[in-house]
């Protein structure tokens, strides 16, 4: 995963409440058993006036030329609500988005962002919805800079660590294997009923 | 020194905390991982490609529910283009990994959140995850069960743990008696309408109080199912005698001495008196009435006998909304402010999903449908939540009631709870549905979905318009 440090980009405003993951990547756009090839289906229901023929709807924000290379997306409340499908973030990332600034996020979507190198910033997006404004997001400093102004944003330590280091969380957790093994051994003693019922009995 | 009073969630968290990672994050042991064919194949294949084995296949359960056909005589072929690829990929990956598979044709097959409780894969005190946002359904058993993405599923499969930011805690206490004809679905919609689609964000919700304790297990599942519609981390309900009675004797329930040990452990799975929550919400069951959604988010729900709210005059208890969201929902649903919901003509009725397709849901609908016919021109579909629910319903003759009324009677699966590119309701068709989401195009491109209880859906199917089941005498 590519580390996230400093990102400079214009921000595309899609400031609506409850932009759900069905809207971000409609279910019918998830055609293959793969994480790839999803960006063409990003916001398909809104982005195309004819979805089947892929005719762009010029009114949709991402089809406006000034946002062609936007790496930052602005959203409203409860962004990424609905289905847990990680395809929503895979599609956003493949399209080129590396950060979403929204009033609030669904928790599963937010976690999916962090695990795919997309920075979710929970704050009011209104100040960034200004024509032509180029933003600089500095994750180590937890700052957004633009137009000579600076805004601070909050992010939990775990998400910051994952994003800034581009860490593979599985590799990181596997370093704790001895602690996991010890926890499981103790749990098998403490709660035998939780283990003896498993289909292959004591598999480990 | 007396011990700190702890919540149910505190106890679940502490029992599974492998290591405190600092910064509010914990490494949390995961007892069960559930997968389905929509995303399970991707997670298992990605893990394989990374060269990492599944840590403990015995703890992994896989079902076919999301894209599998629900038409009679189904096999691996699907109406959804490429759906077969998902089924084959998931089956092959599950078998290679050594996981337990509830395949098409298996009597244990069904929607993941229906079959896991049915088979006692979920038990009080366990942690359980699934790449599906409605995993919170299973919190009804006093388990910590929540929805994750595919990457986190890979993490849980590879390590037996997840790295979790500890959520805040909210208790929703419900007191008093639900009036006749008022169901857990109505309560769930009442809560979402009041707290809002983001009202539970970053919180684990404990549903508590005498009304909750009086709910049968299926109703508790319906209530917890919609916690994700509040953006909650998940929901939990303390296990009690009803929980144990429901689970006893099921496939993966403990037996003998283990059962006794489990019961002893579960007796402590409740919130201590005096334990503190970050937020407390009190609900009087007498204020809850049959509900229906009018808009395109679950929070846009009102009493069945009510009207589409005016933005300028929201209901006293309603969650705040924005003018843009209000206008957009009105336009999408082709409704005006102040319009009555009762009497609105419908094109289709759907009974199914992990919210409301368990046996008591089908019985409630059948009691309305018995001896009646679905209105001319209305397409009505019933999809049992699991193969077992279907078999039990058929043993009671419920299938005949549905079929005689003019409903389609399907094989178990998620079906048209969502549109996956194959079967769908038509453009701008108005559908009344027992499902959990009324998002734009959720049940098909431009389809208009109204969420309601099984009884309300059945009554509306008969009337051909949105109708109050309490006005039809149950046969």
Q: Provide the pLDDT for residue B474.
A: 53
Mutating which of A78, A80, A182 best tests the B interface, going by the most B Cβ atoms within 10 A? A78
Q: Are B30 and B131 in contact (CB under 8 A)?
A: no
Q: How confident is the model at residue B2 (pLDDT cuts 50, 70, 90)?
A: low
| Cα separation, B242 vs B249, whole angstroms | 14
Contact A115 B23 (CB under 8 A): no
Q: Provide the pLDDT for residue A203.
A: 41
| Residues from chain B contacting residue A199 (CB–CB below 8 Å) | 58, 100, 252
- For chain B, the farthest-separated pair of C-alpha atoms sits apart, in whole angstroms, at 71
| Residues from chain A contacting residue B167 (CB–CB below 8 Å) | 107
Tally A–B CB contacts below 8 A.
Answer: 217
Average of pLDDT values for A18-36? Answer: 93
* Cα–Cα distance list, B233 to B198, B277, B381 (Å): 11, 15, 32
| Cα separation, B169 vs B459, whole angstroms | 38
| Residues from chain B contacting residue A177 (CB–CB below 8 Å) | 159
Alpha-carbon gap: B18 to the closest alpha carbon of chain A (Å): 6
Encode pLDDT of A172-187 as tens digits. 999 999 999 999 999 9
What residues are paired with B386 via a beta bridge? Answer: B110
Contacts of B180 (CB under 8 A, 6+ apart): B470
Q: Provide the pLDDT for residue B316.
A: 82
Which of B352, B361, B350 minimizes the C-alpha distance to B413?
A: B352
Closest chain A residue to B86 measured between Cα atoms? A33
Alpha-carbon gap: B440 to the closest alpha carbon of chain A (Å): 8
Q: Are A39 and A95 in contact (CB under 8 A)?
A: yes
Tell me, what DSSP letter sits at residue B33?
A: E
Q: How confident is the model at residue B117 (pLDDT cuts 50, 70, 90)?
A: very high
Q: How confident is the model at residue B142 (pLDDT cuts 50, 70, 90)?
A: very high
Contacts of B466 (CB under 8 A, 6+ apart): B292, B304, B341, B342, B343, B344, B346, B432, B450, B452, B456, B460
| Cα separation, B259 vs B120, whole angstroms | 12
Phi and psi (nearest 5°) for B29? -70, 140
Q: Are B211 and B182 in contact (CB under 8 A)?
A: no
Percent of chain B with pLDDT over 90: 96
Closest chain A residue to B67 measured between Cα atoms? A27
Closest chain A residue to B21 measured between Cα atoms? A158
Which of B209, B290, B202 minimizes the C-alpha distance to B469?
A: B290
CB atoms within 10 A of CB B462: 22
Contact A84 B148 (CB under 8 A): yes
Q: Provide the pLDDT for residue A1.
A: 79
Phi and psi (nearest 5°) for B28? -115, 130
Q: Provide the pLDDT for residue A192.
A: 97
Q: How confident is the model at residue B466 (pLDDT cuts 50, 70, 90)?
A: very high
Q: CB burial class (10 A; 0-12, 13-18, 19+) of residue A140? A: exposed
A 56-115 → B contacts, CB under 8 A: 76-78, 81-86, 89, 104-108, 111-112, 115
Mutating which of B135, B153, B198, B233 best tests the A interface, going by the most A Cβ atoms within 10 A? B198
| Cα separation, A134 vs A47, whole angstroms | 23
Percent of chain B with pLDDT over 70: 99
Contacts of B284 (CB under 8 A, 6+ apart): B174, B175, B176
Which of A204, A144, A156 minimizes the C-alpha distance to A180?
A: A204
Interface check A184 vs B, CB under 8 A:
yes
Contact A111 B82 (CB under 8 A): no
What residues are paired with A10 via a beta bridge? Answer: A134
Q: Both tokens of residue B364?
A: 């409630």
Q: How confident is the model at residue A201 (pLDDT cuts 50, 70, 90)?
A: very low
CB atoms within 10 A of CB A164: 15
Label the pairing between strands A143-146 and A149-152: antiparallel
| Lateral strand order in the sheet of B203-208 | B234-236, B203-208, B168-175, B279-284
Encode pLDDT of B143-179 as tens digits. 999 999 999 999 999 999 999 999 999 999 999 999 9
Alpha-carbon gap: A151 to the closest alpha carbon of chain B (Å): 22
Average of pLDDT values for B4-14? Answer: 97
Which of B156, B171, B168, B124 minimizes the C-alpha distance to B271?
A: B171
Closest chain A residue to B83 measured between Cα atoms? A31
| Cα separation, A10 vs A154, whole angstroms | 21
| Cα separation, B422 vs B426, whole angstroms | 12
| Residues from chain A contacting residue B59 (CB–CB below 8 Å) | 198
Q: Provide the pLDDT for residue A18.
A: 93
| Residues from chain A contacting residue B331 (CB–CB below 8 Å) | none
Q: Both tokens of residue B285?
A: 């069951």
For chain A, give the number of residues: 204
Closest chain B residue to A176 measured between Cα atoms? B19
- CA A200 to chain CA mean position, Å: 37
Cα A114-A120-A121 angle, rounded to 5 deg? 145
Encode pLDDT of B178-230 as tens digits. 999 999 999 999 999 999 999 999 999 999 999 999 999 999 999 999 999 99
Contact A158 B24 (CB under 8 A): yes
Q: How confident is the model at residue B317 (pLDDT cuts 50, 70, 90)?
A: confident
Contact B149 A18 (CB under 8 A): no
| Residues from chain A contacting residue B324 (CB–CB below 8 Å) | 16-17
What residues are paired with A193 via a beta bridge? Answer: none
Closest chain A residue to B156 measured between Cα atoms? A170
Which of B42, B325, B418 is closest, CB to CB, to A18?
A: B325
Q: How confident is the model at residue B408 (pLDDT cuts 50, 70, 90)?
A: very high
Q: How confident is the model at residue A204 (pLDDT cuts 50, 70, 90)?
A: very low
Mutating which of B28, B35, B130, B163 best tests the A interface, going by the most A Cβ atoms within 10 A? B163
| Residues from chain B contacting residue A169 (CB–CB below 8 Å) | 151, 155, 163
User: What does pTM read for this prediction?
Assistant: 0.95
| Cα separation, B405 vs B373, whole angstroms | 4
**Which helix (H) or strand (E) covers residue A23, if one does?**
helix A21-24
CB atoms within 10 A of CB B93: 25
Question: A108-139 b/e with 16+ CB inside 10 Å = b?
Answer: bbbbbbbbbbbbbbbbbbebbeeeeeebebeb
Which of B27, B31, B82 is closest, CB to CB, to A31?
A: B82
| Cα separation, B97 vs B84, whole angstroms | 20
Q: What is the DSSP string of A31-84?
A: -SSSSSS-GGGTTHHHHEEETTTTEE-TTSGGGSGGGTT--EEEE-TTBTBS--
Contact A108 B42 (CB under 8 A): no
Q: Provide the pLDDT for residue B1.
A: 46
């Amino acid at each position: 995963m590519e580390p996230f440090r400093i990102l400079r980009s214009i921000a595309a405003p899609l400031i609506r409440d409850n932009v759900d993951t069905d809207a971000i990547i409609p279910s019918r756009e998830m055609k293959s058993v793969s994480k790839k090839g999803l960006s063409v289906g990003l916001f398909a229901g809104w982005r195309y006036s004819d979805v089947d023929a892929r005719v762009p709807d010029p009114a949709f924000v991402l089809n406006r030329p000034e946002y062609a290379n936007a790496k930052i997306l602005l959203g409203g409340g409860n962004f990424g609500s609905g289905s847990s499908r990680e395809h929503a973030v895979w599609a956003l990332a493949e399209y080129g988005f590396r950060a979403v600034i929204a009033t609030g996020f669904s928790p599963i979507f937010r976690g999916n962002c962090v695990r795919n190198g997309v920075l979710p910033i929970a704050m009011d997006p209104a100040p960034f919805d200004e024509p032509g404004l180029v933003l600089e997001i500095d994750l180590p400093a937890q700052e957004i800079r633009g137009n000579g102004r600076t805004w601070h944003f909050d992010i939990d330590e775990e998400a910051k660590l994952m994003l800034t280091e581009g860490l593979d969380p599985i590799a990181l957790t596997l370093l704790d294997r001895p602690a996991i093994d010890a926890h499981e051994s103790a749990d098998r003693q403490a709660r035998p009923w939780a283990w003896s019922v498993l289909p292959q009995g004591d598999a480990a | 020194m007396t011990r700190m009073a702890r919540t149910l969630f505190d106890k679940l968290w502490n029992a599974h905390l492998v290591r405190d990672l600092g910064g509010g994050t914990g490494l949390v042991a995961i007892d069960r991982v559930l997968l389905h064919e929509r995303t399970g194949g991707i997670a298992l294949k990605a893990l394989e490609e990374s060269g990492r084995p599944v840590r403990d296949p015995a703890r992994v359960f896989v079902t076919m529910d999301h894209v599998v056909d629900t038409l009679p005589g189904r096999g691996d072929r699907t109406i959804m283009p490429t759906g077969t690829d998902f089924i084959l990929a998931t089956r092959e990956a599950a078998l290679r990994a050594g996981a337990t598979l509830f395949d098409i044709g298996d009597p244990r097959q069904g929607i993941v959140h229906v079959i896991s409780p049915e088979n006692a894969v979920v038990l009080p005190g366990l942690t359980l995850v699934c790449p599906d946002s409605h995993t919170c359904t299973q919190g009804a058993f006093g388990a910590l069960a929540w929805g994750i993405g595919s990457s986190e599923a890979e993490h849980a499969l590879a390590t037996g743990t997840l790295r979790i930011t500890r959520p805040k805690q909210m208790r929703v206490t419900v007191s008093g008696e639900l009036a006749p004809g008022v169901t857990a679905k109505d309560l769930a919609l009442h809560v979402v309408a009041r707290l809002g689609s983001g009202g539970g964000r970053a919180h684990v919700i404990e549903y508590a109080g005498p009304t909750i304790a009086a709910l049968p297990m299926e109703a508790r599942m319906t209530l917890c199912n919609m916690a994700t519609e509040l953006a909650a981390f998940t929901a939990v309900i303390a296990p009690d005698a009803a929980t144990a009675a429901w689970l006893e004797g099921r496939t993966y329930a403990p037996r003998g001495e283990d059962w006794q040990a489990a019961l002893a452990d579960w007796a402590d799975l409740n919130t201590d008196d005096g334990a503190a929550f970050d937020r407390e919400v009190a609900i009087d069951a007498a204020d809850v009435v049959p509900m229906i959604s009018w808009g395109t988010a679950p929070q846009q729900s009102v009493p069945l006998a009510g009207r589409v709210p005016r933005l300028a005059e929201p209901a006293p208890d309603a969650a705040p909304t924005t003018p843009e969201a209000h206008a957009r929902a009105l336009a999408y649903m082709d409704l005006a402010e102040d319009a009555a919901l009762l009497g609105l003509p419908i094109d289709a009725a759907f009974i199914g999903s992990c919210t409301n397709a368990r046996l008591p849901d089908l019985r409630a609908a059948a009691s309305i449908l018995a001896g009646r016919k679905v209105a001319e021109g209305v397409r009505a579909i019933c999809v049992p939540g699991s193969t077992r629910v279907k078999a039990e319903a058929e043993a009671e003759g419920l299938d005949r009631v549905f079929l005689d009324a003019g409903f389609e009677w399907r094989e178990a699966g998620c079906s048209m709870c969502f549109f996956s590119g194959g079967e769908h309701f038509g453009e701008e068709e108005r559908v009344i549905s027992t499902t959990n989401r009324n998002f734009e195009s959720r049940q098909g491109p431009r389809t208009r979905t109204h969420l309601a209880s099984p009884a309300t859906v059945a009554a509306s199917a008969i009337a051909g318009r949105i109708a109050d089941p309490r006005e039809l005498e149950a046969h």
